Chains A and B, each alone.
Chain A
Amino acid sequence: MAGESSARQFAESGADLALVNVTKRFPGFTAIDDLSLTIPAGSFFALLGPSGCGKTTTLRLVAGLEEPTEGRIMIGGKDLTDTKAYQRPVNTVFQSYALFPHMSVLDNVMFGLRRRKIADAAEKAKEALDLVELGHVSTRKPAQLSGGQQQRVALARALVNRPALLLLDEPLGALDLKLRRQMQLEIKDIQSEVGLTFLHVTHDQEEAMTMADTVAVMNQGKIEQMGPPEELYESPKTAFVATFLGQSNLFGGEVTSSTKDVISVAVAGKELRVPVDRAVAHRGKVTVGVRPEKVSLHQAEPTTDSNRCVIGPGRVLDASFTGVSTQYLVDVPGFGDVTVFAQNTSHGEHAVEGDEVFLSWSVEHAFGLADVPPAEDRFLNDTSTGAMAVQEREKIEQELEGA
């Protein structure tokens, strides 16, 4: 009953969450494979990954809605692996909101308070509704609210309990872009205001980077890389992170020489240099990566500069104007198709389709990876039987839940 008594309390501050060697197997496939993770108290942590990577299962394990096959789940230093969902000091904002359709908005928000016999539950519920600016709809039924309002009610219903740990399961997925941006900022504000620990699960990399202090990129039941958003973006450690979080140009090659500052990689007869501290592997076959916005486009071959890598000439296959920038797709023999984002800051030279161009980037912007890039198209991977099984499984689960 220790769990229950702690659930009855309002959390004064967020609790840290630790997953220790957690594995979750469903019949026929492993959703989570030996996952260890620590989320410090009071942080906003995002679990980012494609559908079927195990992130929602992780969340359900923490909430107590699934039991891990192996491993322990600790919240605030206490082992809660065998504690039932309703006894855990955790609340979830569900992807589908799951607002009780037969209750008013206020009753929905009061639901968690009443059980714990919190004094003036109605008062607290009203405050929570005011926090999400929905005090005026408290007597309505959830079906009478818009999607965005329902989402905010779901947030208030979880927040009002002041859980030590708040879980957000893609709660913004059903909202349109503008509302999503607005809600992202609101949730972020609320988190810094109340100081609780937030664990946010999403497949939207922009959302994860905007909101979270720490982002963990998850793929096939494992965490690929974890860190602050800038770090993940600027120096990805695996090809999956490099391509899932934003876009990357990746070139496979062999290390030919290395100094204490840079390694040189031979790709299609050119030397590409990568700073040593931005390279995961320093010998053998490696992958060199550079972000499209770090690449510059030149109409004529630029003068050699020891701080820049130059490739080309290549032919512009496609130039598309997107407003703030122009996206170019350049075919460079030996390097494949290279994407370039050029800021629309000057009225000067603009390449058009068919132009012959050179590409260059600053050495310090390159990063080195140990693994080869995943097959050309990310979606090709999904036709593997494993991924299909996962997708099929998810579909069936959703059907079962939705039925």
Chain B
Amino acid sequence: MAFGAFGGAAPAADQQQVAQRKSPIALWLLLPGLLYLILFFVTPLFSLVITSFQEPVPGGFLGEYQNAFNPSNYVDVVSTYLPHIMRSFVYASLATVFALLLGYPVAYVIGVKLRPYPLVQSLALVILIAPFFISFLLRTIAWKQIFADEGVVVGLLKSMQIIPADAYLTGTPFSVVFGLTYMFLPFMALPIYTTLEKLDLRYVEAGSDLYESPFTVFRTVTFPLSLPGVVSGTLLTFIPATGDYINASRDFLGSTDTAMMGNVIEANFLVLQNFPAAAALSLILMMSILVLVSVYVKRSGTDDLL
């Protein structure tokens, strides 16, 4: 920015004029993307908003609704599903924290410690991404098998008497948070890796040259400089984890006691056919994530680092 002040202003203005002259082409190029967004994103969003205010047709069949302005839908879903809403955010937060605790060291080792060995570094990255080559449904089912009552993990823990004989893992909050953490770990680790991989190690050397112990250098230099990666990693984990309905579903790692907002929305849309409730819940989920994320990005103060 500082350098832009010197002499750069005039050419920039020229470029702007050029860009404006060429703008019809740019518009044409943008058109397919814009149309796609309008058709498949903006329209459904409006439809969702309209649906969320609908009311049942008097004397109609199940699943028959008419347009209305019925804000009580929102009050109803919040009072009915408050535990699920809270659970969604608690599980997603826990999964985000665990993914950060697990993902940061992995990203640090790959991005910093393995730098002298480019081949090993690439291999480690491939291993990190490898799970994506298998459908996440299959992977989640695999975890269900591993955590099953007759499975090896529960069996081993029981035989070592770490957990009581009647204990189980599937369907518990533990297995749901575990599944969420597992699923989003690469989304956490990869952005952190990208920033750490670019970290100038001379800052670390300068830190130790100025009497700071390795831990303090990490806390005061390395971590702050990797904050952009941490912020995008936590967002990429927290946002989809909040809306996730696979891990918490009864068919996978969860039970009725662990149902999250995604499960409730699914049930209302597909089973109960209570479309206004499902739409209202979806919008509540969307708005709360939007608010939380804006506060988070603002607080973390990474604007000038990004």
Contacts and interface: CB of A to CB of B under 8 A. Distances in A.
A115 B216 contact: yes
Nearest to A144: B2
A98 interface: yes
A256 to B, nearest CB: 56
B225 A403 contact: no
B206 A403 contact: no
Contacts of A92: 206, 209
A157 B210 contact: yes
Contacts of A91: 209-210
A115 B213 CA distance: 9
A143 B2 contact: yes
A96 B202 contact: yes
A115 B211 contact: yes
A7 B198 CA distance: 31
A161 B210 contact: yes
A73 B216 CA distance: 26
A179 to B, nearest CB: 16
A7 B200 contact: no
Contacts of A87: 211
B291 interface: no
Interface SS majority for chain A: mixed
Contact of B203 (A86, A100, A161): A100
A96 B216 CA distance: 22
Contact of A63 (B2, B116, B209, B221): B209
Contact of B211 (A7, A100, A141, A145): A7
A400 B115 CA distance: 7
Nearest to B206: A98
B201 interface: yes
A378 to B, nearest CB: 29
Interface string A5-22: 001100000000000000
Interface in A371-403: 400-403
Contacts of B2: 143-145
A84 interface: yes
21 contacts: A8-B211, A64-B208, A86-B208, A86-B210, A86-B214, A87-B211, A90-B209, A92-B209, A94-B206, A98-B205, A100-B207, A101-B225, A111-B210, A112-B211, A115-B212, A115-B216, A116-B211, A157-B210, A400-B115, A401-B202, A402-B200
Given A65-B209, A143-B1, A403-B115, 18 more contacts: A65-B208, A86-B209, A86-B212, A86-B213, A86-B214, A94-B202, A96-B202, A100-B203, A100-B207, A101-B225, A102-B225, A111-B220, A116-B211, A144-B1, A161-B211, A400-B201, A401-B200, A402-B200
